[in-house]
Amino acid sequence: MKMATYSVLSGSVALITLQNPPVNALSEAVRTGITDAVQRTLKDPQVTSVVICGQNGRFCGGADIREFAGPMSGPPLVPMIHALEAMEKPVVAAIEGLALGGGLELALGCHYRIAHSQALLGLPEVTLGLLPAAGGSQRLPRLIGLPAALDLITTGRHISASEALKLGIVDQVTDDNALKMAVEFARSVVGQPLGPRRLSTRPCHSPPDVDSVLDQALAQVWQRGRGALAPVACVGALRAAATLPYAQGMEKERELMATLFNSGQARALQYAFFSQRVVGKWQPSGARWDNSTTRTIRKAAVIGLGTMGRGIVVALALAGVSVVAVESQEKQLAAARQMVPEMLQRGAGRRGLDTPPGVISFSSGLEDVSEVELVIEAVFEDMALKRRIFSRLATVCRPGTVLCSNTSGLDIDQLAEATQNPALVVGMHFFAPAHVMKLLEVVCGPRSSPEAVATAMVLGKRMGKVSVAVGNCPGFVGNRMLKPYMEQANFLLEEGATPQQVDEALEGFGFPMGVFRMSDLSGLDVGWRVRKEAGLTEQGVEPTRMRQGQRYSPLPDQMCEGGRLGQKTGRGWYRYDGPGGRVARSDPWVQNFLETYRARHGLVPRRIATEEILERCLYALTNEGFNILQDGVAAGPEDIDVIYVFGYGWPRHRGGPMFHAGQVGLARVLEKLEHYQHSHPDVPHLKPSSLLRRLVAAGSPPVQKWREFISKDRVHSQL
């Protein structure tokens, strides 16, 4: 039963216990329980103090986010917290585990707060497209001052109990039983004046230059938020706290929350929250990773110590795995010996650790991996080389070792074929830099066993990654969708756009970097190599714009042939101060190159509107997402959206490409794709996916219903 219980300890301390596993979210039943308990406390003359705690060592994870999807009913939070604060008996929050969002706001309505040393506190509402609207935006700055409240509320970051103590959010921290301590504390403060403990009655201490502090915060959230509304509203609520009396501040908090609450961004961010928890609980074999047997990996090897390999070594070691790091090239091995310990130390420092938990040994030979439980191969993207390594590993490693490849798109099954036990081969596609980026695509080959996949998924989680299980196809999910997106960007250049124009459109949408700036950063030669492998490139004075029966843009190949590989050569779609330069400047050479190219091919440039740039790039990408769902390469739209948000810079407040298509309207996306396909019949990626057509025909169900629709649709098509 989800509720809040009331009991009286030793005749005088009322104990209100939140009971709504797993995080004691403030659902309607819990709010009703607290409201009733407050009434009982008021009526009971024996009770002299009150303690509020959460069941199972977790104080409260905040408002029940699932309730936000429907009409809100039951006692509202704001008056409930006011009633607690107004009590004439001291109320103490016993914070164990977590006090987040509405949970911390509840605690701020209490007169005292005692926290366990392992507890995490924070107001993460901004990450859900909201603001702390249960009085948090008004009480917190009155408790800890405006600058610290701005930091916590606009970032939504979780803080430790010791930081909370330093900031003055909690009164005491204990390593022992926080509940027991809170009860003793409650008894000890009976009779002390409560007026100064009521945060709503305190003035808000603001710095003398309050306006400039707020303006600076606003500028910062604009820049960081890439179009997100909630951080801006948070600054607005804090401005009210700093400049208005409490009651008017609360009114402003309510107004701002009303604007955010029903916004598309709040829906997108709450969808992103739940998607992150849904993903990966799937495999093509039908098994679930969380109920398959997994192996706990204590010792692993990484083969190949280029940029990706070094990052993977660090990520493993930070997760407490001992690593054998192997590199056959002497120079690269020497570089890794120097760089990896430095990266590791920095990583450990960021986590507040003095020493990294995992031990690393370096080697130049594969024979040193014989004792490990799992291997991650991270060599150059070359199938023949990878196959040679896998066949060698199959003889060197002991039976049962899980063999993983950090490939960004090669066929896992071809690698598995090179071994004696294909069931133990899976893909682990990391994103650069591998010790920083959160996304991991775990690629299930047709013969990968549920156990091997589950082991990779769980290891990814230990490494702090958001692991998403995907099927085996060229480019898997992320890179397969990237192809039509980049292709459209190149076509737009041919038709008259500039790299800056395309990038500005995409950055205006919310990507941290447009496609051409991103390409310069990762190196134009990455895609060139893939196109060469696919037999698509051709050199010559007059390269054709049709390859393998479809439209092809040789522009990026020509850039590579001219040595313009991006930041590393100091020249790409932009120019940089030198090789390795970071600041992109528009390059008249590129302008001239594009003009010459268009003239040579008889292409008449036209003015291209931002709307067309966005529609062609984004809908081509999304359309491939529908094909991926139809092919069963991703379990559901949430998987694709998580991949794009965590791995490709899709703005989180837009949910992900599939969610965004739902928000735009599936019928509109279909109509636009039909329109662009009509104008570009030689571009197969613009041909609307048949799944998209079927969803539109079925009345465009909401994205949360697509899984159900797809599985019914599959059964139907098999009949």
- Distance between CA 20 and CA 56 in Å, rounded? 10
Q: Which amino acid is at 243?
A: T
Q: Does 124 bind ligand LT2ZWINM (CB under 6 A)?
A: yes
Which ranges constitute the DSSP H helices of 189-291?
Answer: 210-225, 230-243, 246-261, 264-278
Q: Which amino acid is at 381?
A: E
- Nearest CA to 228 out of 510, 644, 615, 647 is that of 510
Q: Does 460 bind ligand LT2ZWINM (CB under 6 A)?
A: no
Nearer Cβ to ligand LT2ZWINM, position 132 or 141? 132
Quick one: residue 321, left, alpha or beta (phi over 0 = left, psi -120 to 50 = alpha)? beta
Q: Which residues contact 383 (CB under 8 A, 6 or more apart)?
A: 410, 411, 414, 415, 533
Nearer Cβ to ligand LT2ZWINM, position 23 or 194? 23
Give backbone dihedrals phi and psi of 609, rounded to 5 degrees, phi first: -75, 150
CB of 242 to ligand LT2ZWINM, least distance (A): 20
**Could you give the count of Cα atoms lying within 13 Å of 661 in the half-sphere of its Cβ?**
35
Window contacting ligand LT2ZWINM (CB under 6 A); options: 125-133, 354-362, 588-596, 603-611:
125-133
Nearer Cβ to ligand LT2ZWINM, position 108 or 402? 108
- Distance between CA 325 and CA 301 in Å, rounded? 6
User: What strand order describes the sheet that includes 13-19?
Assistant: 3-9, 13-19, 49-54, 91-95, 112-116, 172-174
Nearer Cβ to ligand LT2ZWINM, position 59 or 511? 59
- Distance between CA 538 and CA 165 in Å, rounded? 65
Q: Does 22 bind ligand LT2ZWINM (CB under 6 A)?
A: yes
- Distance between CA 674 and CA 686 in Å, rounded? 7
CB of 433 to ligand LT2ZWINM, least distance (A): 24
Among 99, 128, 213, 229, binds ligand LT2ZWINM (CB under 6 A): 128
- Nearest CA to 66 out of 18, 33, 98, 29 is that of 29
Indicate the pairing of strand 13-19 with strand 3-9.
Answer: antiparallel
Asked if 205 contacts 146 with a C-beta cutoff of 8 angstroms, the reply is yes
Q: Does 272 bind ligand LT2ZWINM (CB under 6 A)?
A: no
Q: Which amino acid is at 50?
A: V
Among 37, 77, 403, 415, binds ligand LT2ZWINM (CB under 6 A): 77
CB of 194 to ligand LT2ZWINM, least distance (A): 24
Residue 378 is encoded by which pair of tokens? Answer: 């991270």
Among 54, 101, 304, 450, binds ligand LT2ZWINM (CB under 6 A): 101
Window contacting ligand LT2ZWINM (CB under 6 A); options: 56-64, 231-239, 356-364, 500-508:
56-64
Window contacting ligand LT2ZWINM (CB under 6 A); options: 81-89, 95-103, 570-578, 591-599:
95-103
Q: Does 152 bind ligand LT2ZWINM (CB under 6 A)?
A: no
Among 10, 46, 262, 679, binds ligand LT2ZWINM (CB under 6 A): 262
Exactly one of 125, 377, 441, 615 is catalytic; which is it? 125
The CB density around residue 638, as the number of other CB atoms within 10 Å, is: 27
Nearer Cβ to ligand LT2ZWINM, position 23 or 214? 23
Q: Is 125 a catalytic residue?
A: yes
Q: Does 340 bind ligand LT2ZWINM (CB under 6 A)?
A: no
Q: Does 134 bind ligand LT2ZWINM (CB under 6 A)?
A: yes
Residue 336 is encoded by which pair of tokens? Answer: 């890794």
**Bridge partners of residue 361, in order along the sequence:** 324
Q: Which of residues 508-527 bind ligand LT2ZWINM (CB under 6 A)?
A: none
Q: Does 70 bind ligand LT2ZWINM (CB under 6 A)?
A: no
Q: Is residue 469 helix, strand or coil? A: strand
Residue pointed to by tokens 């056959």:
328
Question: DSSP of 340-402, one letter per residue?
Answer: HHHHHHHHHHHTT-SS-SS-EEEES-GGGGTT-SEEEE---S-HHHHHHHHHHHHHHSPTT-E
Among 91, 257, 360, 620, binds ligand LT2ZWINM (CB under 6 A): 257
Q: Does 133 bind ligand LT2ZWINM (CB under 6 A)?
A: yes
CB of 261 to ligand LT2ZWINM, least distance (A): 4
Q: Does 84 bind ligand LT2ZWINM (CB under 6 A)?
A: no
Q: Which residues contact 357 (CB under 8 A, 6 or more apart)?
A: 317, 318, 319, 320
Write the CA distances from 581 to 140, 207, 503, 563, 571, integer angstroms: 43, 39, 18, 16, 9
The CB density around residue 540, as the number of other CB atoms within 10 Å, is: 7
Among 63, 315, 470, 661, binds ligand LT2ZWINM (CB under 6 A): 63
Q: Is 487 a catalytic residue?
A: no
CB of 71 to ligand LT2ZWINM, least distance (A): 8
Among 54, 75, 90, 102, binds ligand LT2ZWINM (CB under 6 A): 102
Asked if 302 contacts 325 with a C-beta cutoff of 8 angstroms, the reply is yes
CB of 269 to ligand LT2ZWINM, least distance (A): 10
Q: Does 23 bind ligand LT2ZWINM (CB under 6 A)?
A: yes
CB of 166 to ligand LT2ZWINM, least distance (A): 21
Among 4, 38, 53, 65, binds ligand LT2ZWINM (CB under 6 A): 65
Exactly one of 67, 85, 96, 105 is catalytic; which is it? 105
Among 30, 51, 98, 424, binds ligand LT2ZWINM (CB under 6 A): 98
Q: Which residues contact 643 (CB under 8 A, 6 or more apart)?
A: 439, 441, 468, 470, 477, 478, 634, 656
Window contacting ligand LT2ZWINM (CB under 6 A); options: 62-70, 108-116, 141-149, 707-715:
62-70
Window contacting ligand LT2ZWINM (CB under 6 A); options: 96-104, 194-202, 295-303, 393-401:
96-104
- Indicate which residues carry an active-site annotation: 105, 125
Residues at the site binding ligand LT2ZWINM, with contacts judged by CB under 6 A: 22-23, 25, 61-66, 72, 77, 98, 100-102, 124-125, 128, 130, 132-134, 257-258, 261-262, 274, 277
